[in-house]
Structure 1
Amino acid sequence: MVPRVVYGKGSFDQLGDILMPHRKNADAPCIFLVDDVFEGTDLISRIPLIFNDQLIFISAEEEPKTVQVDVLVSKIRNDFTEPPSGIIGIGGGTLLDLAKAVAIMLNNPGTSCAYQGWDLVRKPSLYHVGIPTISGTGAEVSRTTVLLGPEKKLGINSDYTIFDQVIMDPELTKGVPKEQWFYTGMDCFIHCIESLNGTYLNAFSQSYGEKALALCKEVYLQDIDASESREKLMMASWHGGMSIAYSQVGVAHAMSYGLSYLLGVRHGLGNCLVFQHLNEFYPDGVALFHKMLKRHNITLPKGITAKLTDSDFDTMITVSLGMVPLWENALGTDWMKIMTPEKLKSIYQKI
């Protein structure tokens, strides 16, 4: 679990006090990785920059990549004579995952792609803080940082990945574009459906998953005011992330990794594109999903895979089938008898 959490409207302004005890000296800066959508906004003036702190704006238009992590780590090592006092990620899942990965790699040798997998990290991360500005991914609480590598899309799954501190300020999620709000929120909703219907389910993950699902239903199917909606979705994201931390996700996530790897489809949208066709596996969840689409007038893109070659489909299938724990959670230990490459291809062809 994340050991320290601060929650509430305006809690972002506690960041300076939170960081101060962790500052080693003036030559060991705090590095702030910030979504470039905030460049030139009031939020930047509220970041507590002192000494040699560095603020790095990063675009979240594409999925985070291992090469991107390695470039950032190299830059930080070259810019400063001492290791940083901490890494602070401010943004959505992309920025939070980058912050977690950079914190790991500053204390571990080699390249980040070598750590894609389960429990491969040997040394603790640098002190790192996560500050979500959009809700749904659960990246603020999860023990993974999902990266596109040269050969696969896979997380660095480790106890050292988890943030040392999270600041959850619902006010920071104001102004998120509607479609992004929907797709990222559906990431949380799909987390819950896959966790609650998985073979890895246990009482711990179930308690978090049920609460997250209830909150998602309130946000996307009921009439609540904007402020309450932001608060509830932020807590849904947290609880959904906790649920999968102690269980696993399933078919939609396994398949969306293939879409992201080959086509660069953003994670939340990718989950939605797949989930709409998974009535065989999650009938109740898919029915709710279509209600949410209709209520919020969201039209999913079509024809995403229409021009793909057989080789393209093979690439997506290989990436997807490599997510063994996800398939085991979704379909059990005999999952390979159920989800054959041919069946997987038939679902991809519908997207």
Structure 2
Amino acid sequence: MSKLSIYFDKLDAALNKYQAYWNFVPFQCDDYPWQNPSLIQYLQLLADNSKLTHDEVCHQISEQFFPELTDAMQSIDFLQKQLVDDWYKPVPFWLQNGIHGRKITQVQQLSEQIKPKYPLLEWCAGKGHLGRLLSFQHNVAVTSVEWQKSLCEQGRKLAKTYEIQQDFIHADVLKQPATWLKPHQHVVALHACGDLHVTLLKQAVAAKVEYMHVAPCCYHLIAEQTYPALSALGQASGLTIAKAILKLAVQAQVTAGQRVANLRQTEVLWRLAYQLIRADISGETGYKSLPSVKKSWFSGAFADFVDWGINHQGLVLPAEINFADYLQRAAVKQKFIQQLEYVRHTFQRALEHWLVLDKALFLEQSGYQVEINYFCPYQTTPRNMMIVAKL
């Protein structure tokens, strides 16, 4: 049994055993979805200790209430790639043009770990920032595949400006056969979402691509309603993970500022209050979600948000309505949901490791030598796991 299989089995056992504590949607809960008086008491007393951070609370919950989860996570020893922010070679200022924020750090730290022996193919490349840097650093030709034509054009322009050996293929990788994947090739993918990285892994295996560096992201962006495990171990697991639950794996955020955090809290409050209004108007008590909207909505007026929701769901708002009362009731529900989220988020990193391991094991059972490492510090991006595969 491989090391990756052992890691997966431990995580799978813990996630199955404690499934009642994470495999649910908090917005749909009116009561605790488990029977655990000690944990409930701990959660209800949390308000008396506001000094603890979110991560500290989750750590306490894991150690006190979920020992098998703690043990499974502590057993994982993925390679730590010199995780300090200044270990990499600086990128020339002119090559950073168009790369914003923490993206430049992610691109740098990933590129420093790739030593290509074959021509490179960059999957779901965007403007080709990673491919451009790899071509510059290693003097190697790069083909960048991207479905947005405008990004291909911008990437070509940047490559031409800086005389980089980089070409672009405009293609929808979910619909077109990947004829550009070849055996003697090195494929890289930085944060290809959901079905995009799943498609890459399947097609790369079929094409017998020799080297891969893949950092997955957005596991919930899939066509299926539940997660379709790739590996034999994943398919044998007792877990059924719906798309809504998969979002848990990417809910860790380290880059959001206080303003964004405040808007998120407002959004939760308003959506809860809207659900109360909708239930009173329609007589339906079941949860019915609204689509995602721009965060700017939550800097405006609650009444406008309600009008939009009512119109979207084909309802009629009463002539007189006490918005303040609904917001007050929603605030009580919000505190309850926060308690549930503390518990769910205790499993966030474990679920993400389970998903990445499933993909890595698929490659391993397909004949690849596989390892998983952290290509950058967690504070640079929570999506810092990279699958490295060699045929």
Asked whether the two chains share a fold, i.e. TM above 0.5, the reply is no
Higher relative contact order (CA 8 A, sep 6+): 2
> Max radius of gyration: which structure?
2
TM score, norm. by length of structure 1: 0.31
TM score, norm. by length of structure 2: 0.28
